[in-house]
Amino acid sequence: MRSFDTLLFTALAASPALARQVPANVQSLYNSIRAQGSCKNILKGGFYSQEGDSKNFSYCGDHLNDYGIMYLQGTNGNLVNMDIDCDGALGTGDGSCDSSQDTQGETSFKDTITSYKAGIKDLNAYIHSFVVLGNEGSKSGYVTFEPESVGVDPLSLVAVVCGNKMFYGVWGDTNGDDGPPLVGEVSDALGRACYGSAVNGNAAHDANDVLYIAFTGAGAVPGAKGANWSASSFTDFESSLGALGDSLVARIGSSGSPPPPASSTKPSGSQPTCSWSGHCAGAKCSSDDDCSDDLVCKSGKCATDS
Ligand SMILES: *[C@@H]1O[C@H](CO)[C@@H](O)[C@H](O)[C@H]1NC(C)=O
Ligand SMILES: *[C@@H]1O[C@H](CO)[C@@H](O)[C@H](O)[C@H]1NC(C)=O
C-alpha cells in the first residue's frame, strides 16, 4: 500500500496545477449552502456576480460564528461566478491577460507584500493564487464592504471550490468602483487552474457555482514565512499554502475543530463587544492586525487608540 500511495502521489505531483480533491466536509458545506438557497445572516448585500444581472449577491456570515468563515452567496441556490483579475506584476506569463482592459498594475496589499522582503514587490496574477474580496469606492450607488469588519485579514487564506476541485489562495486584491459593485474574481493563474483556457482576462466563468471561503482570525494569515511568495509557478505557490489551508478547512463541519477560541483575557465582569469576537478590548495581541475594528495593540493587549 505504502509504495503504491507514494507512486500515486509522485505521479499527481508532477502534473501541472495539481488540484486538491474537495474534502467531504467542504463538499457537504457546498451542498448545504446551495440547498439552503440564500444567505440568512447577510453581512452586506446588493452586489452583482456579473454586470447586468441582479443585485442578489452577498457576503454571507451564516457560518461566521461556528466555523469562523465568510463566503459569497446569491439567491435561488446560486453561489457566484468567477471573473479574472489581471492586476499585479505581469510579464512572466503566457499573455492571457495582455488584451484585457481591466488591469490596474498593482494589487491592494502591495505594500505588505513588499514588506515581506521575499524578493517580490507585488503579487503576480500569472503566478499567485489570489482571490478578490471586499468592495471599495466612493461613486454614488457603489456598495462597499470591508472583510476586515468581520475579522477577515488582508492576505489571509481563502479556499476556492471550482469545477469539482479545490485550490488555496490568499485574499490579494479588492474590487474597485470602476463599474457596478461586483463579487467573484480571482487571479488569472487560479482561474486557469480551475477552468483551463476557457477563462482569461476577457472571458469569465459565468455559472454561479463557485464557492469562495475566507477564514477569520490572524491565524489564517500565512505572513512573510508561511507561503512561497517568490515561487515561479502557480503550483509552487499554491502548494506552499497546503498545510495552513488544510488546518483551516478542518474547522468546517461538526467533525472539525471549533474556530479560534474567544480570548481568555477578557477583563472580568465586563463583556466587551466588537465586530471580531475574541479580538475586542483587552484581548491578547502581537500587532494591530490582531485587534478588531479601530482597536490597536498596546503592551500586548487590544485597546482604543487614544
Ligand atoms: C433576486 O432575489 C429576488 C428576491 O429573493 C427574487 O425574487 C429574484 O428572482 C432574484 N433574481 C434573480 C435573477 O435570481
Ligand atoms: C519556492 O518555489 C521555487 C520554485 O518556484 C523554489 O525554487 C524555491 O526553493 C521555493 N522556496 C521555498 C522556500 O520553498
Q: Is the pLDDT of residue 211 over 60?
A: yes
pLDDT value at residue 76: 96
Q: Do 244 and 268 fall within a single domain?
A: no
Q: Over the chain, what HEC string results? A: CHHHHHHHHHHHHHCCCCCECCCHHHHHHHHHHHHHCCCCCEEEEEEECCCCCCCCEEEECCCCCCCCEEEEECCCCCCEEEEEECCECCCCCCCCCCCCCCCCCCCCCHHHHHHCCCCCCCCECCCCCEEEEEECCCCCCCCCECHHHHCCCCCCEEEEEECCEEEEEEEEEEECCCCCCECCEEEHHHHHHHHHHHCECCECEEEEEEEEEEECCHHHCCCCCCCCCCCCCHHHHHHHCHHHHHHHHCCCCCCCCCCCCCCCCCCCCCCCCCCCCCCCCCCECCCHHHCCCCCEEECCEEECCC
Q: Nearest to residue 146, comparing CAs of 161, 157, 137, 136? A: 136
Mean pLDDT, rounded, of the chain: 85
**Residue that the C-alpha cell 494591530 belongs to:** 288
Q: Is the pLDDT of residue 68 over 60?
A: yes
Domain end: 201, 226, 249, which one? 249
Residue with CA at minimum distance from ligand 2 atom 2: 231
Q: Is the pLDDT of residue 1 over 50?
A: no
Q: Distance between CA atoms of 271 and 258, rounded to whole angstroms?
A: 21
pTM for the full model?
0.78
Mean pLDDT of 34-61: 96
Q: Is the pLDDT of residue 79 over 50?
A: yes
Q: Is the pLDDT of residue 50 over 60?
A: yes
pLDDT classification of 103: cutoffs 50, 70, 90: low
Q: Is the pLDDT of residue 81 over 70?
A: yes
Amino acid at residue number 197: S
**Number of independent structural domains in the chain:** 2
Q: What is the pLDDT of residues 163-202, one digit of tens each?
A: 999 999 999 999 999 899 999 999 999 999 999 999 988 8
Alpha carbon of 56 to ligand 1 centroid (Å): 6
Q: Do 287 and 140 fall within a single domain?
A: no
Q: Do 116 and 32 fall within a single domain?
A: yes
Q: Do 277 and 153 fall within a single domain?
A: no
In a domain, 31, yes or no: yes
Q: Is the pLDDT of residue 98 over 90?
A: no
In a domain, 255, yes or no: no
In a domain, 277, yes or no: yes
Give the closest ligand to the alpha carbon of residue 57: 1
In a domain, 21, yes or no: yes
Alpha carbon of 7 to ligand 1 centroid (Å): 49
Q: With a 6 A CB cut-off, is 115 part of the ligand 2 pocket?
A: no
Q: What is the pLDDT of residues 3-41, one digit of tens each?
A: 444 444 444 443 456 789 999 999 999 999 999 999 999
pLDDT value at residue 282: 84
Pocket of ligand 1 (CB under 6 A): 54, 56, 75-76
Amino acid at residue number 61: G
List the grid coordinates of 204: 469569465
User: Could you tell me which residues come within 8 angstroms of residue 3 by beta carbon, excluding any fewer than 6 positions away?
Assistant: none
User: Could you tell me which residues come within 8 angstroms of residue 70 by beta carbon, excluding any fewer than 6 positions away?
Assistant: 43, 59, 60, 61, 64, 147, 150, 152, 213, 214, 216
In a domain, 202, yes or no: yes
Q: Distance between CA atoms of 201 and 76, rounded to whole angstroms?
A: 28
Give the closest ligand to the alpha carbon of residue 237: 2
Q: Do 238 and 280 fall within a single domain?
A: no
Q: Nearest to residue 199, comparing CAs of 81, 91, 103? A: 81
Q: Do 201 and 292 fall within a single domain?
A: no
Q: What atom of ligand 1 comes closest to residue 78's alpha carbon?
A: 14
Q: Do 268 and 139 fall within a single domain?
A: no
Q: With a 6 A CB cut-off, is 199 part of the ligand 2 pocket?
A: no
In a domain, 254, yes or no: no
Q: What atom of ligand 1 comes closest to residue 74's alpha carbon?
A: 14
Q: What atom of ligand 2 comes closest to residue 233's alpha carbon?
A: 5
Domain end: 227, 249, 271, which one? 249
Domain end: 230, 249, 268, which one? 249
Q: What is the pLDDT of residues 133-154, one digit of tens each?
A: 999 999 998 999 999 999 999 9
Mean pLDDT of 34-54: 95
Residue with CA at minimum distance from ligand 1 atom 11: 54
Q: Do 173 and 304 fall within a single domain?
A: no
Q: Do 214 and 304 fall within a single domain?
A: no
Mean pLDDT of 268-281: 62
Q: Nearest to residue 33, comparing CAs of 3, 67, 62? A: 62
Residue with CA at minimum distance from ligand 1 atom 13: 54
Alpha carbon of 201 to ligand 1 centroid (Å): 28
Give the closest ligand to the alpha carbon of residue 225: 2
Q: Do 187 and 291 fall within a single domain?
A: no
Question: CA torsion angle for 124, 30, 82, 80 (degrees, to 10)?
Answer: -130
Q: Do 74 and 143 fall within a single domain?
A: yes
Contact 165, 119 (CB under 8 A): no
Percent with pLDDT over 70 in the chain: 81
Q: Is the pLDDT of residue 266 over 50?
A: no
| Residue numbers of the domain that contains 280 | 260-306
Q: Do 245 and 267 fall within a single domain?
A: no
In a domain, 48, yes or no: yes
User: Could you tell me which residues come within 8 angstroms of residue 247 by beta carbon, excluding any fewer than 6 positions away?
Assistant: none
Percent with pLDDT over 90 in the chain: 65
Mean pLDDT of 249-268: 55
Residue with CA at minimum distance from ligand 2 atom 3: 231
